[in-house]
Amino acid sequence: MVGTDRNGNGGGDLGFEAQLWASADKLRSNMEPSDYKHVVLGLIFLKYISDAFEAKREHLLRDAADPESFYYVQEEAARYAIAEDRDEYLAENIFWVPGEARWSHLQAHAKSTDIGKRIDDAMIAIEAANPRLKGVLPKDYARPALNKVMLGELIDLISGIAMREGADRSRDILGRVYEYFLAGFAGAEGKRGGEFYTPRSVVGLLVKMLEPYKGRVYDPCCGSGGMFVQSEKFVEEHGGRRGDIAIYGQESNYTTWRLAKMNLAVRGIDADIRWNNEGSFHRDALPDLRADFVLANPPFNISDWGGERLREDARWQYGVPPAGNANYAWLQHIVHHLSPTGSAGVVLANGSMNTQQSGEGDIRRAMLEGDVVDCMVALPPQLFYSTQIPACLWFLARDKRPHRKGARDRRGEVLFIDARKLGHLVDRTRREFSDEDIDRIAGSYHAWRGGADASGYEDVPGFCKAASLDEIRGHDHVLTPGRYVGAAAVEDDGTPFPERFAELTEKLDEQFAQGEALSALIQAKLRAIDVP
C-alpha cells in the first residue's frame, strides 16, 4: 500500500496524500493545473468505484462458495453468475462496473499506446451502466495532446492507493486523496481554483458551529461539494449514521458540478445536486426546499448577477438587493430556503457587514430588526485561494427561541466574534485555522447559544461579545465584530506605573540614539561613494 505510516494511518509526518500529490504533480510537467485536475481526479474516481465493486464481488464469490451462506451454490459457473448479478451491487448503492472498465483491466494495459482510448471507453461504459453518472465523468483521455506515457505512470501511481484494504477503509483513503487533490489543484490554480473549493478549515468551522446532526442540508452554490463531505463526516464522528442528513445543492458551473458529483460518490454520499447554467437566482432548482441547515460560500461581490430582472422576486423579504452586488441577494435567498427552525452559515466579504450603498444598509437593518442574524465572525486574512478580500461569516436563524434542551432564548441579541488574530500560515500566502482555533470559536458560540453540553458563556474582551439589538442600533446596524468586542485585556504584571513609565522612556531614548547612529553611518557611506 502507498505511504502507510508505522501506525497504519497513512503517510508518516508528511502524509501519504502529500507524497502522492508530489508524485502526481511531477508527472504533470507543463500541463496546466486546470486541465490536469480532471485527468487525475477522473482516474481516482475510477479507482474508487472499481475498488468498491471488486470488494463486493469478492464477498459474493466467498458467500457463493460457503455452504453456510444463503448464496451457496455448488457449481462454479453459477457462483460467477451470482458475482455478476447487477442487482446485488445496486441494492447496496455500489456502482456497476463493466469488465472493460475495471481498474485491473486498465492497469494491465497501462503501458499500451491506446491507453487513453481504453480509459475513455471505460468512462463511457460506466455512465451507460449507471444513469446517475450520466454526463459526469471526463472522457477526453484519448486526445492527442495528452501524453500517454504520463497516463500510464499515473495509473501505476494511483494503483497503489488503498491496496489490500477493506471496502470502508478503501473508500475513506480514496476519499481523503480526492479531497487532498482538490485542495492541491485549488492552490495551484489560485483565483480560478477558489471558485470550486472552500478551504477545509473554513468548512470545518461552519460545520462545527451549526452541528448538522440530522435533517436537510442545502448549499445553493455548492462548488465541489466540500460542505457536504464535512457534514457527513461530522455526523459519523458524533455517533450518527450516514443518511441521517439529506443533501441538496445547486451549481451553475457544469465542470464544477461534475467535480462535486464525483467527490460525493467517492465518499459514498447520495445527494441531490442540480446543475443549470442560469444559477440559483434565475432558476431556483429546488424552489420548495426548506432546509434545516444551509452552508454556503457564494462568490463575493458579484456585480453581474442579473438582479435588474428580479426586482419583484418573493425572496426579497427584507428589501430588494442592488443590481450591482449579489451579497444581500445570497443572504435573502438562503433565509428563504430555511425551515421554520433552520439555521445557516454563510461566507461573505467583510463589506457586507457595514456597507450603506444602494440600500444594503436598509436590508441589513431589516434583517436585524427581523431577528434573523444570530452570530457574526470576523475572519483572519489569507484563508482563501481565490481572493485577498477580507471575509466574514454570517450565521442566520429563522427562530432564535430555544429548540433544544438547555438552550437559551437568543431573541434580540447577536453574538460577535473577532477571530482575525487566529489561524497560522501554512505557506507564504495562505492561512488555516487549527483544530484549537475552531474549538475556541465554535465553543464560544455554543456556550452563548446554550444546550445540554454547553458551558456558561462570558464576554471576552477583544474576542467575543453578546450585544443587544439596542446596542447594535447605537452602531447604526453595522455588524463589524471589532466595534463590539473592544480591546483585549492587557495583563497587569504588577509593576507600578511610574516605574513602568521610566522603563519605557529609557528604552525610547536608546532607540533614538540607535537611530541617530544609523543615520550618521548611512551618510558617511554615501559620502564615500565616488560619483563621476
pLDDT at 13: 38
pLDDT bucket at 73, cuts 50 / 70 / 90: confident
The least confident of 3-17, 42-56, 475-489, 518-532 is: 3-17
Q: What is the pTM of this model?
A: 0.79
Report the DSSP pairing between strands 215-219 and 291-296. parallel
- Overall average pLDDT of the 336-358 stretch: 96
Higher pLDDT, 512 or 392: 392
pLDDT bucket at 74, cuts 50 / 70 / 90: confident
Contact 367, 398 (CB under 8 A): no
Residue 75 pLDDT exceeds 70: yes
Q: Where are the domains of the chain?
A: 16-189, 201-485, 496-532
Give the cell for residue 318: 427584507
Report the DSSP pairing between strands 373-378 and 413-418. parallel
Residue 8 pLDDT exceeds 50: no
| Residue 77: closest CA among 65, 89, 67 | 65
pLDDT bucket at 170, cuts 50 / 70 / 90: low
User: C-alpha 46: how far from its chain's center?
Assistant: 22
**Percent of the chain scored above 70 by pLDDT?**
89
Contact 151, 123 (CB under 8 A): no
Mean pLDDT for all residues in the chain: 85
The least confident of 270-274, 397-401, 487-491 is: 487-491
Residue 258 pLDDT exceeds 70: yes
pLDDT at 266: 80
Give the cell for residue 8: 497504519
pLDDT at 194: 47
Higher pLDDT, 429 or 452: 429
Contact 429, 384 (CB under 8 A): no
Q: What is the CA angle 257-203-352, rounded to 5?
A: 90
Phi-psi region of 412 (alpha: psi -120 to 50; beta: other; left: phi over 0): left
- Overall average pLDDT of the 425-445 stretch: 91
Give the cell for residue 258: 461534475
Which of 2.30.30.60, 1.20.1260.30, 2.130.10.10, 1.20.1250.20 would CATH assign to domain 16-189? 1.20.1260.30
Give the cell for residue 146: 495528452
CB atoms within 10 A of CB 53: 21
> In this predicted model, what pLDDT tens digit does every residue of 305-345 receive, in sequence order?
999 999 999 999 999 999 999 999 999 999 999 999 999 99
Q: Rounded to an integer, what distance in angstroms lies between the CA atom of residue 385 and that of residue 240?
A: 32
pLDDT at 191: 53
Give the burial string for 182-192 (b: 16+ CB within 10 Å, else e).
bbbbbbbbeee
pLDDT at 246: 92
> In this predicted model, what pLDDT tens digit does every residue of 279-294 receive, in sequence order?
999 999 999 999 999 9
Residue 456 pLDDT exceeds 70: yes
pLDDT at 98: 93
The least confident of 75-79, 198-202, 483-487 is: 75-79
Give the cell for residue 344: 445557516
Give the cell for residue 257: 458540478
- Overall average pLDDT of the 341-365 stretch: 96
Give the cell for residue 80: 460467477
Phi-psi region of 78 (alpha: psi -120 to 50; beta: other; left: phi over 0): alpha
pLDDT bucket at 379, cuts 50 / 70 / 90: very high
Query: What CATH number is given for 201-485 in this structure?
Result: 3.40.50.150
pLDDT at 5: 30
143 — phi, psi (to 5°)?
-60, 140
| Residue 465: closest CA among 446, 448, 485 | 485
Residue 14 pLDDT exceeds 50: no
pLDDT at 280: 94
What is the length of the chain? 532
CB atoms within 10 A of CB 110: 18
- Overall average pLDDT of the 472-491 stretch: 87
> Could you write out the three-class secondary structure of 370-388?
CCCEEEEEECCCCCCCCCC
CA-to-CA separations, 18 to 126, 160, 186, 444, in angstroms, rounded: 29, 14, 15, 33
Q: At what angle do helices 33-65 and 148-159 cross, to 10 degrees?
A: 50
pLDDT bucket at 484, cuts 50 / 70 / 90: very high
Q: At what angle do helices 254-266 and 167-189 cross, to 10 degrees?
A: 150
